[in-house]
Amino acid sequence: MMQAVTVLPGDGNSTSHCASLGPGLVRNGDRHVRISLPGVLRRESECKEWVDFSKKKYIPVKNERVLGIVAKTGKQHRVDIQASVHAVLPELAFQGATKRNKPTLQVGQVVYAQITRAHRVLEPEISCVESSGKAGGLGPLDSGYLHRCSLGLCRKLLAEQCTVLQALGKHFKFECVVGMNGLVLVNSDKLVHTIAITNAISSSEFMSEEQCSAMVQQIVDTL
């Protein structure tokens, strides 16, 4: 990953050759890329580039995985994904779902889904199946503690080498589902561990690797 560079809206990045541009970047022409959000410019190998920024309002991006809360059920479920409008989740957008055999969702239930439509005018649409037709880990989630955090922290948690999650994994057995929309679901055998893990994740946003490791050890010592 490239060295962190702070950028501001209007800055140019004429050297970008990335095939995939994430949030905060707009392509003008074949090579010139304009910065549209303030934050830290990140690059993963030579194929993906984005701006890391602290923001809680989510802007849907196609193919991103998100956590959502069912707000209304029906043939077209309405799901709150922390965007300006609710996303549409078709009742058949589940692995193996048919008109006679499909999951029964409840208002308030959490689902893990993928953005299939992101448009400026139309409502975003999500699905609990991948392009292959398999769930791939997507679908309703029945247990765990749902926590809201910044979009920047979510991207930090989804990095291949996430210090805080690695440090927590040495001491606790837990599951952590991270949505790109600022929602994190934590589940473990004990409630006290779930709360401690959630607090550690929230506190790690602006910490260095050494600070994250020390913070996790302090939490373990107090339990």
3-state secondary structure 40-93: EEEEECCCEEEEECCCCCCCCCCCCEEEEEEEECCCEEEEECCCCCCEEEECCC
pLDDT value at residue 6: 82
pLDDT value at residue 49: 77
Instruction: Choose from 20-34, 150-164, 174-188 the range with maximum mean pLDDT.
Output: 174-188
Residue with tokens 């074949």: 30
Could you tell me the pLDDT band of residue 102, with boundaries at 50, 70 and 90? confident
pLDDT value at residue 160: 83
pLDDT value at residue 215: 96
> What tens digit of pLDDT does each residue of 44-100 get?
766 677 777 766 678 898 999 999 999 999 899 999 999 999 999 999 999 988 888
How high is the mean pLDDT of the chain? 87
Res 3 pLDDT > 80: no
> What tens digit of pLDDT does each residue of 6-30 get?
888 888 764 556 667 777 788 776 6
- What are the structure tokens assigned to 20, written together? 């995939």
Alpha-carbon distance of 57 to 179, in angstroms, equals 13
Per this entry, what is the length of the chain?
A: 223
Torsional sign, CA 31, 32, 37, 43: positive
pLDDT value at residue 40: 79
Could you tell me the pLDDT band of residue 34, with boundaries at 50, 70 and 90? confident
Alpha-carbon distance of 114 to 90, in angstroms, equals 12
Alpha-carbon distance of 110 to 144, in angstroms, equals 9
Could you tell me the pLDDT band of residue 163, with boundaries at 50, 70 and 90? very high
